[in-house]
Amino acid sequence: MPLPDDVERRLRRVALENAIQHDGEARAGPLVSRLLATEPTLRPRASELRDTAEAVAAEISRMSRAEQEAALVGLGGPEPAPARPEERAEELPPLPDATEGAVVLRMAPFPSGALHIGNARMIFINGAYRQRYGGRLLLVLDDTVGSEAKRVELEFFDLIQQDLERSGVRPDATYYKSDRLPRHYEWAAKVIDRGAAYVCVCPPDLLRENRRQSIACPERSQSVEVTRGEWAKMLDGAYAPGGAVLRLKTDLQDPDPAFRDRVLLRISDFDHPRVGHRYRVWPMLEFSWAVDDIELGVTHVVRGKDLVIEDRMQEYIWRILGITGPHFLHWGILRVREAKVAKSKAYAEVRSGEYDGWADPRTWSLLSLDRRGITVEAVRRFTLSFGLSLADIEVPAETLYAENRALIDATTPRRLFVPDPRLVHVEGFPADLSTVELPNHPERSELGVRQVATGPDFWLPANELIRHAGTELRLKDLLNLQLPGDLTPGPDGKIRASFTSKANKKLPRIQWVGAAEPVSVDILELDGTHRTGMGEAALGASAPGDRLQFERVGFVRVESSWKPGATPLRVCYGHP
């Protein structure tokens, strides 16, 4: 039965992406690895997938670059980016009006979970500018009260600090919004005194509808004295949550309905993990930024273009108060195609136990990337390569993986691993092949060699046995054998095969693990499932945190929670 159309379409798209990133040459091996890593349901059909991948890769490799790019667009891929030199940290555009030693930047994450791949731009772009100008970088934790779906919890403060420590971008000072609410109240009073705000008691649905229709709420005409009194009642607890908000007077005819009389502060009775119920009135983020960016001396705010309306709010408030604020710079949205990043969803899945904590690969948190063996430097290079482009960009995860591969490939030892193994006895096995010397890296002699125990009994991958039943094939770097047509194991649980020769003949090559001293292995996959198999004896000497490359599988990292000598060896899959 042929592969489903959607699988072939996905395979062709991945092949085109692969070719465009590798000077026009599509390679079948990485295509299969990527699809099986992201779509484990295809594993039973790996042989068919490999055959199709080889044909597709050959076809695409014959295309010109322009033809490949056009074909990718036709399959829903992004338009080719205009040619430009690769941007690194030193090639970010200069900050306007920046003075050496006087630049102050800030990062303002909302502590509702671990930082993820989408937060990497905040970390590394701000870090790069601090380094360039010899300035200061502040961590201003936006710990407003959030919501039921987006809760602030103590552990998230620690997770964020650990992520920054791991990234090497350490803040020069740390501030918490929950410590600064009295200052926000003082600023709110100043805005009220300018006649620029009012206390609105409209129900939320009516507030939104009035805003949509440019209708003023009855309270908009309050005098300053009345607003002061209503504001005092908000602070004193006279209103229940949702009963009143402080709103800014903006143009009710503004083309953007969202900008019409936006809320500045609201009432909440959530229990805050740092200050409990000390405060009931909490600022919206843009109002807190308007206050803190001035009071903390921020000179430049560098953040995503999705916060442009927040820029307008801050500038509007500053104009009311006669203040000149910092410069704003933005980047566009950067999406990694395979990363389904949503903190609220991740929060729910972590809390329910469906995810293996914030380091679960499905969160795409920086912690999970570290668990997978993706280096901080790879994430930094990946992030900075897009500079401050305002274009929305979607890239395959392979773009990040290529950065990591370039950094770790030369120092990562290779190891033999067989998934879904079957025990095969090779009759006529030569005694002089009981061990074989294999390089730890095919191109790096400085990494040395190791002695690997072989047969006559081997663990071989079930899918390859089925694919090549009744044919001759080669155990990679070892010998040739003839498989029987009937793969039914004997009473001892072993399939019988026959030795044919040692010659390096042009035959299908498969991976193997000698059955004398194997190590059972458990791989945590990117979708949260587990794949088991057998690995060579050298894996028993692995240490927690080691990076390895399982031949014909990909890069993995030994789990930090694994104990040396324990079985199975637990690793997390990194990438092809």
Tokens linked to 544: 């927690």
Query: What is the secondary structure of 365-426 as a DSSP string?
Result: BHHHHHHTT--HHHHHHHHHTTTT--S-EEE-HHHHHHHHHHHHGGGPPEE-EEESEEEEEE
Mean residue pLDDT across the chain: 90
Task: Give the Cα separation of 315 and 327 in Å (integer).
Answer: 10
Task: Give the Cα separation of 554 and 541 in Å (integer).
Answer: 19
pLDDT of residue 344: 73
pLDDT of residue 85: 34
pLDDT of residue 52: 84
Q: How confident is residue 359, by pLDDT bands cut at 50, 70 and 90?
A: very high
What is the average per-residue pLDDT within 32-41? 62
β-pair type (554-558, 569-575): antiparallel
Tokens linked to 40: 């484990």
Residue position matching structure tokens 């006669």: 322
502 has a pLDDT exceeding 90: yes
DSSP annotation of 34 reads H
Fold of 414-576: Ribosomal Protein L25; Chain P (2.40.240)
What is the average per-residue pLDDT within 410-424? 96
CB neighbour list of residue 187: distance below 8 Å, 6 or more residues apart = 287, 290, 291, 317, 321
Q: Is 176 helix (H, G, I), strand (E, B) or coil?
A: strand
Nearest to 546 by CA among 361, 356, 373, 359: 373
CB neighbour list of residue 445: distance below 8 Å, 6 or more residues apart = 439
Burial of 1 (0-12, 13-18, 19+ CB in 10 A): exposed
Q: Would you kindly state where each structural domain of the chain is located, as residue ranges?
A: 5-74, 414-576
Task: Give the Cα separation of 104 and 300 in Å (integer).
Answer: 7
Identify residue 320 by its one-letter amino acid code. I
What is the average per-residue pLDDT within 97-118? 94
pLDDT of residue 77: 57
DSSP annotation of 168 reads T
β-pair type (513-514, 509-510): unpaired
82 has a pLDDT exceeding 60: no
Task: Give the Cα separation of 4 and 11 in Å (integer).
Answer: 11
Query: What is the secondary structure of 57-115 as a DSSP string?
Result: HHHHHTS-HHHHHHHHHHTTPPPPPPP-PPP-GGGSPPPTT--TTT-EEEE----SS--
Q: How confident is residue 508, by pLDDT bands cut at 50, 70 and 90?
A: very high
Q: How confident is residue 55, by pLDDT bands cut at 50, 70 and 90?
A: confident
pLDDT of residue 65: 75
Identify residue 206 by its one-letter amino acid code. L
pLDDT of residue 84: 37
pTM, two decimals, is: 0.82
Tens of pLDDT, residues 235-246: 999 999 999 999
Rounded to the nearest 5°, which phi and psi values hold at 564? -55, 135
Output the furthest CA–CA distance in the chain (Å, rounded).
100
Tokens linked to 42: 């295809």
Q: How far is CA 248 from CA 6, 191, 322, 575, in A?
A: 51, 8, 16, 49
Tens of pLDDT, residues 128-179: 999 999 999 999 999 987 666 677 888 999 999 999 999 999 999 999 999 9
Identify residue 426 by its one-letter amino acid code. V
Residue position matching structure tokens 């303002």: 108
Nearest to 110 by CA among 122, 93, 94: 122
β-pair type (417-419, 530-535): antiparallel
Least confident of 60-64, 180-184, 260-264: 60-64
Q: How confident is residue 54, by pLDDT bands cut at 50, 70 and 90?
A: confident
